[in-house]
Structure 1
């Protein structure tokens, strides 16, 4: 029996994906949102963690998976992601988190069960429609601090509020924003936010 932990922020989609996976009697499926991942994994070891890269919390889930597979804590849980080929940044982040299965979320329904079984058996899988996007995925050009500042700006935070939250000078925040605009080739802050979202960096 393969134990699957399905992580999704949207309860309806979470339940629907769990229903699909549960049609395979060899899969024992549990579900949670981002906040319950660590507790769920501590309570019951999972062979596979499945998440959707379009999910608002996917960045945090991938970061958690990276931390859990560090030698100090370790985990035997393999990561399988639902993805889109036009989101190079998402594919790169999943690769950095150690994903072993990449499923095109617009592909055949049966792919999900088949890939989960394949990865659980120790294999790897990437849908052909995602392969080119993964090969073309480039390193995120922005530093973690530049991404953080840009993400807060995308949420409507002012320079002064970002500076206060991150314990930085306002001039330093402006420098980070200017660097983000330059590195993304954007025209201004709003354009840098738009491009970063399109590439899956935010």
Structure 2
């Protein structure tokens, strides 16, 4: 029995994905939101973790090269990401976080099932429709730490909240945000978030 942990911020989507996988018979599926993931992952020790790149929480977990994701999951847990071909920047983040599987969210349900089986067996899976998006992904001009700060800012965290979460001084967080604004050519923090979201970096 393959143990699968499905992460999504929307309960209805989590349930639908779980129902799809369970209908295939040999998957033991557990679902969770990002806040409860560490406890669930520690208890379940999944064979595969399925993560939607568009979910709040995914950007923050993958922004620093996947170090936060590796706190959430055991480093040996293979990641399978659900992605859209129109967001090459998020695919690059997932690749840097060493995700093993990449499934196009606009593809068929059978592709997800096949991908879970392959990733659980330790094999790489990349939807053909995502291959061109990988090639189109421009290098991200921000450092992993700048991305982690920006990802949390994009979720609405204050400077103080970001500082606590990342174990930084508030002044350091402001310095990172100033660097992000400069590197993206943005006018301010809001503009930097908009530009980075459009590029798929957060």
Return the TM-score normalized by structure 2: 0.80
Match of 1:66 in 2: 70
Match of 1:180 in 2: 180
Return the TM-score normalized by structure 1: 0.80
| 1:152-197 deviations in Å (ceiling 9; x for gaps) | 388395x8x7999763459x83x64453233223455443221101
Greater Cα radius of gyration, structure 1 or 2: 1
Match of 2:192 in 1: 192
Classify 1:14/1:129 alpha carbon distance in 2 versus 1 (closer, same or farther; 3 Å): same
Counterparts of 1:154 and 1:35, CA distance in 2: 14
Counterparts of 1:130 and 1:27, CA distance in 2: 25
What is the CA distance between 1:15 and its match in structure 2? Answer: 0.4
Instruction: Give yes or no for the alignment of 1:122 onto 2:122.
Output: yes
8 Å contact from structure 2 (residues 37, 72) kept in 1: no
Match of 2:156 in 1: 155
8 Å contact from structure 1 (residues 7, 34) kept in 2: yes
What is the CA distance between 1:4 and its match in structure 2? Answer: 0.5
Classify 1:162/1:60 alpha carbon distance in 2 versus 1 (closer, same or farther; 3 Å): closer
8 Å contact from structure 2 (residues 60, 152) kept in 1: no
Provide the alpha-carbon RMSD of the alignment. Answer: 3.0
Classify 1:25/1:98 alpha carbon distance in 2 versus 1 (closer, same or farther; 3 Å): same
What is the CA distance between 1:11 and its match in structure 2? Answer: 0.5
- Structure 2: gaps spanning 5 or more residues: none
- Structure 1: gaps spanning 5 or more residues: none
Counterparts of 1:121 and 1:128, CA distance in 2: 20
